[in-house]
Amino acid sequence: MSRVVVTGRVPDAALEKLRAEHEVDAWAGPESIGREELLRRVAGADAIVSLLTERVDGELLDAAGPQLKVVSNVAVGYDNINVPACTERGIVATNTPGVLTEATADIAFGLILMATRRLGEGERLIRAGQAWKWGMFFLLGSSLQGKTLGVVGMGGIGQATARRAKAFGMDIVYQSRSEIDPAIAAELGARRVDLDELLTVSDVISLHCPYGPATHHLIGAEQLSAMKSSTYLVNTARGPIVDEAALAAALREGVIAGAGLDVFEHEPKVHPELLDLENVTLVPHLGSATVETRTAMAVLAADNALAVLRGEQPPTPIG
């Protein structure tokens, strides 16, 4: 029997799977586990099931000890994990791709609708008790039909967002490290372009690339200036892909029309200027937040850890 440390609260279905085979030490506090407590608890762990709020770096891996075999992240994004540090120590790192694709694309498209149709503004106005009545020019937004969606990062979530956009009558361009499957490109009518072209032709830009040194501030003042003043930017990937101060300035000065953000550069902090702007919709990292999706993520993370502890290939290793 091995020792598995789970760094935060996860659905019971995952804990039951882990407990059926191993001794499980799962943090159950309402707040995230503190760093000191985490460093203490991982000592002697054979597996760590980590949440994206915990930094898994060399210090943590060393605190666990040389018996540690696997770090299983309950997220598709793994910017909280120092993967080379795992590899150097012979530790397998895994994530949870696939199971949160549709839920995250739903939130991306929800933000596209909220931003372009000014739903947040309308809701705030009613809740503030402001007087209003139907008017020909009251809270007019932008239609999506016939407009162009630019998808940055055309993996599973980008493709699922593009599929929703197609159903809304949008044209699709995308920027990605590689061409997507030609059959899917044909189904979506999606054309691969470089980032510069995407920025200038898109009416809505949705970010779905992974975060890392190559994508830090991928969207900054220069890129925002390259967009049309009628463009909307949506980010459901990772906050630091966007220079939040530059975005706040662009939204305030009308450089772009609006934005929808599910993720933030210094999460959970939000740039204070964004809070005062009407043309940005802000939601608290809800991309994968459905009961079904979170359960599937946690169960997949458990399966990954269990496979490595059995000496088997995990279902979804990183890299």
**Number of C-beta neighbours around residue 292 at 10 A:** 13
Kindly give the interhelix angle for 101-117 and 156-167, rounded to the nearest 10 degrees. Answer: 50
Length reported for the chain: 319
288 scored as a contact of ligand DGY (CB under 6 A): yes
* Site residue total, ligand DGY (CB under 6 A): 8
Contacts of 86 (CB under 8 A, 6+ apart): 56, 61, 71, 92, 93
Least distance (Å) between residue 110 CB and ligand DGY = 14
240 scored as a contact of ligand DGY (CB under 6 A): no
296 scored as a contact of ligand DGY (CB under 6 A): no
Q: Which residue has the tokens 């906050």?
A: 239
Least distance (Å) between residue 52 CB and ligand DGY = 6
How far apart CA 60 and CA 91 sit, in angstroms, is 12
Would you call 267 a catalytic residue per the annotation? yes
Whether 282 contacts 270, CB under 8 Å: yes
From 21, 197, 267, 273, active-site residue? 267
How far apart CA 82 and CA 93 sit, in angstroms, is 9
Q: Which stretch binds ligand DGY (CB under 6 A): 14-22, 151-159, 160-168, 283-291?
A: 283-291
- Of the residues 120, 153, 260, 287, which one makes contact with ligand DGY according to CB under 6 A: 287
Interaction with ligand DGY in 93-152: which residues (CB under 6 A)? 100
Q: Between 185 and 300, name the residue whose CB sits nearer to ligand DGY.
A: 300
Q: Which stretch binds ligand DGY (CB under 6 A): 140-148, 151-159, 174-182, 280-288?
A: 280-288
Whether 239 contacts 267, CB under 8 Å: yes
Q: Between 195 and 283, name the residue whose CB sits nearer to ligand DGY.
A: 283
**195 class by beta-carbon count within 10 Å (0-12 exposed, 13-18 middle, 19+ buried):** middle
Q: Between 157 and 257, name the residue whose CB sits nearer to ligand DGY.
A: 157
Which region, left, alpha or beta, applies to residue 217 given φ > 0 means left and ψ of -120 to 50 means alpha? left
For residue 243, the cross-strand partners are none
Q: Residue 11: which of 315, 302, 263, 314 has the closest Cα?
A: 302
**x/- contact string, 70-99, with ligand DGY (CB under 6 A)?**
-----xxx----------------------
Least distance (Å) between residue 104 CB and ligand DGY = 7
Would you call 117 a catalytic residue per the annotation? no
Which parts of this chain interact with ligand DGY (CB under 6 A)? Answer: 52, 75-77, 100, 285, 287-288
Active-site residues, by number, are 238, 267, 285
